[in-house]
Each structure stands twice: as C-alpha cells, then as structure tokens.
Structure 1
Amino acid sequence: MRIIVEDTEEQFHIAAALEVTKQVVAKPESVITFAGGETTVGVHRELAQLCRQWRIDFSKMKAFTLDEYVGLSPDDPRSVSYRIRHQVLNPIGVQSDHIYMPDSMAEDLQQACSTYDRLLDEYPVDLEILGIGSNGHIGFNEPGTPFHLDTHVIHLASRTTQDKAGFFGAVGSVPEQGITVGIRRIMRSKQILLLAKGKGKSEIIRRALLGPITTDVPASVLQLHPSLTIIMDKAAAELL
C-alpha cells in the first residue's frame, strides 16, 4: 500500500493525473478503468491538460467505465458514460472503438453484465481508478455486497442516492439501480488507484484502510491488493 497525501486540492488533482499519465507513457496500450463522481472531475481536467502540454499519445490505450445508472442513455448528460467521455476520454484522444461501457439500457441486464465481463476477460485491466463513497462503496458496490461478484446490477443505497441528489435535482430523480464492475473483478486489476478528497471522506478512509476487512465497508477489501496506491488531500487523510 502506497499512500500519497497532498496539501491542496490542485496538487491532489495533479498527482492523480500524473499516476495515470505515467502508466500510459510506460505502456501506451494500457487498459484503464475510469470512475465518475465529483472526486475525479478535477483529475480528468488535469489529465487533459497534461495531454495537451506534453503531447502524450493516449490513442492506443483502452478505456472502461466502472459503473453506470440503469436506464440512463450514454447520451444523457447525467450518465457516467457521458461525463467520462466528455470530461476526459474525448479530450485526451482515446479512440471511440477503444472505449467500453456497460449497457445500462439493455432489456436483459444480466446478459449485459456477462458481455462486459467477457470484454474485461479479453482486456485485463492495468490500472483501476476508484473513488470512495461516503458509505465505503467502490463503484456501485454498496455495503453488504459480497466480495465474490463480477459485473452485476445493484440497488443503490439510500446514502448514495442522497449523495447524488444534488446532481440529479432531487433524491427521487436518482435512478434506483446501477450496473457496476464487481469487487472480484476490481481486485483482478494489476494496479489500483484509490482517490479521496475532503473532510467528508476522512472517517470512511480511516475505516477502509485501517479497519477490519468487511463487506460493511466494501473499500476495506482493497487492503488485500498487492499494488494499491491511495492519493488524498490533507482533509481526507486527517484521521490516519
């Protein structure tokens, strides 16, 4: 476990973007899983900036998204797929046929999960980028989610819908389900980059990194990964 604590939010964004950039420079054909959410918005912006400044070629890499809201089209600005494409994948020049996203609009969601797992089998993930929810979720793997699952459909916890309410306008507008890469699949990634910022994440980071490994705090399983890097700002790290 490698822990990096940055003094400011800007330094946090830059440090995380540099980790991704170093991966692609070392292996241009890297497979990287991207996460949505507020934590990664600034990271995506800095990654695009590094791409422009250093003229780094991201065209050979393959990108997966970690999760999606069931029922949202990838063209819906509220969808994870839309935000990741427009925040980072398009700006850094990832080829459209190198971008993979779960089909959350499928009539058969279980089949969509199986299809996504087959793609992940074909393209093993070199770097998994994760945020952490205030209840300890990674992806949409909510508290109580078994560790042995691959890609699956899950009902979002009330804590998650409350946290996302501002983005959707109201709690009642947040989709009830998500499709997410499962914890077993996450743990199969060669490297994991966990990102956390803000005082509101300090308690759950303490529990995830220093507490017992339990499905009550899904992120706690990351303690077992052989190549885990955590980047935080001072506020998120204050209880460590």
Structure 2
Amino acid sequence: MNIRVFDTPHDAGIYVAALAEQVIQSRPDPVLGLATGSTPIPFYDALVGLHRCGLDLSHVTTINLDEYIGLPPTHEQSYAHFMHTHLFSRTNIRSENIHIPNGMADDLAAECARYDDVIRAHPIHLQILGIGVNGHIGFNEPDDLLLSKTHVVELRPETVRSNARFFERIEDVPRRAITMGVQAILQADQIVLMAFGPEKADIIARAVLGEVRTDVPASILQLHKRVTVVLDRASAQGLFDEAGRLRAK
C-alpha cells in the first residue's frame, strides 16, 4: 500500500483528483468507481474544480458503490441525490454514463444481478473508497463471510448510528442497502481509500497494519497490488511511531 498523509482533507482531495485526472486523460473510456458520505466530498470539489479549468468528463463512466433500499433518487439522503448534488450537476458527465443501484427496485435480487452486469461491462479503472468506523467498504459490513457480488445487506447498528447524523431521527435511517461486492472492488485497476478525522485512526491502523480479516472488511485491500491510502494527520496517527516511521505489521 502507498500511504499519503495531508494536513487537511482539502489538500487530500486535490491529490485524489489529480490521480483521477491521470486516469481520465489516459483512457478513451475511463470508468470511476465512486463512494458517498462526507469523506469523498473534498475529492468531488477538487474534480469539479479541474472540470471548470478545462478537464472534459463527458467520456467518463461512473459506477457507485451502493444505495439505500427504500429511498427514491429524489430523497435528499439518497446516494443518487448526493452524487447529483456534489458531482453530476456540476460537471458534464453524461446521464447515460451514470450507474447507481436502484434502491426502489421491486425485485432486489434481479437488481443486484443487473448491477453485476453493469460492472462486468465497465471494468473499473479507479475505485474511490471511504471506510466506516467498523471497517466497512461500500456497505460490506463485518461478517464471517464477505460476499463477492452485488447484494442486499442489513446495516450494522454502528453504521446506522454513524449515518444518523444525516437524518432528522435515527429511526429514519434505512436499515438495508444494496452494495457492490468485494470482488468488484478488488478487480479495479487502482484503489484509493480515503479517511479523515481521529475517529477513523483506530480502524485505519487495523485495516492497514492488522491481519486480513472479514470482520475488518477494509483489510482485504492489503491483497490488492495498487492501493493508495489517503489520510489527514488525525486519521493517520495510529500508523506511525514517534520517529515518524510506519509501524510494523
């Protein structure tokens, strides 16, 4: 893993946007795997800034990691709405190139199969990830077994509590979601894992320096050949000793 530590999330977002620009400009049909939540917002802001400076995104395909079940795309807390607000409405990414799971599908199993078909048709060149306080990536929650394909997941209580800050009441937080599986994540050519804040320090240390374990889903990224972990100083504090050296695994 490559580890990059920045003074602020803003600086980190600029760096990740530069990585994305390299992919976008080097391929005729670049595919970005995208995440939601507060962590990637500095990246989206920086990517929008590059677009305003001339970066063409009209040939980019996007594939989002997940979506809540039961929230329509127009709901202000749906991930479709999040992506429209923070990226799609601010750039020239074409609507036909945007892919997000349908959390309102009548047949969720069929929707999961459809989404796997989308991923197979558009192999991901750069996958952006956040990490939950329990180590989840996408909504692949800690479990005895991590599922490889797109699937319906029951959100863990700690995930519901963490996401409650976006809702008026914790009772309003959906308890289920559709998420991309770990196989699709690991098949991306390049992965960027982003984390900010002291509340992420412990899980980042476990994911980067600990054993590969299904109860720390992000630790599976250790098996990928090209991962960059992008942090601020608060989230990186568990990785280094007093001399500034990366701690041994």
TM-score by length of 2: 0.93
Q: Distance in 1 between matches of 2:109 and 2:157?
A: 23
Partner of 1:154, secondary structure, is strand
Report Cα offsets for 1:102-146 as digits up to 9, x if no partner: 111011101000000011111111111100001100000011062
Name the structure 2 match of 1:170.
169
Give me the CA root mean square deviation.
1.1
Residue 51 (structure 1) aligned with residue 16 (structure 2): no
- The answer on whether the counterparts of 1:147 and 1:184 sit within 8 Å (CA) in structure 2 is no
Name the structure 1 match of 2:17.
17
After superposition, the Cα gap between the structure-2 partners of 1:139 and 1:145, relative to the gap in structure 1 and judged at 3 Å, is: farther
Report Cα offsets for 1:122-172 as digits up to 9, x if no partner: 111111110000110000001106234210000000000000111012211
Q: Which amino acid aligns with 1:56?
A: L
Partner of 1:128, secondary structure, is strand
Q: Distance in 1 between matches of 2:69 and 2:223?
A: 30
Name the structure 1 match of 2:124.
125
Q: Distance in 1 between matches of 2:26 and 2:81?
A: 28
Name the structure 2 match of 1:99.
98
Gap runs ≥5 in structure 1: none
State the 4+ residue runs in structure 1 displaced beyond 6 angstroms.
none
Q: Distance in 1 between matches of 2:70 and 2:127?
A: 24
Name the structure 2 match of 1:6.
6
- The answer on whether the counterparts of 1:200 and 1:236 sit within 8 Å (CA) in structure 2 is yes
- The answer on whether the counterparts of 1:149 and 1:182 sit within 8 Å (CA) in structure 2 is yes
Q: Distance in 2 between matches of 1:28 and 1:38?
A: 30
Q: Distance in 1 between matches of 2:22 and 2:83?
A: 20
Q: Which amino acid aligns with 1:102?
A: P
Partner of 2:87, secondary structure, is helix
Report Cα offsets for 1:69-97 as digits up to 9, x if no partner: 00111111110111112211231210000
- The answer on whether the counterparts of 1:132 and 1:195 sit within 8 Å (CA) in structure 2 is yes
Match runs of 1:224-235 below 5 Å: 224-235=223-234
Q: Which amino acid aligns with 2:9?
A: E
Q: Distance in 1 between matches of 2:9 and 2:108?
A: 38
Match runs of 1:1-240 below 5 Å: 1-53=1-53, 55-144=54-143, 146-240=145-239
Q: Distance in 2 between matches of 1:146 and 1:64?
A: 24
- Comparing 107-116 with 185-194, greater Cα deviation is found at 185-194
After superposition, the Cα gap between the structure-2 partners of 1:99 and 1:164, relative to the gap in structure 1 and judged at 3 Å, is: same
Q: Distance in 2 between matches of 1:94 and 1:145?
A: 38
Q: Distance in 2 between matches of 1:222 and 1:164?
A: 23
TM-score by length of 1: 0.97
Q: Which amino acid aligns with 1:5?
A: V
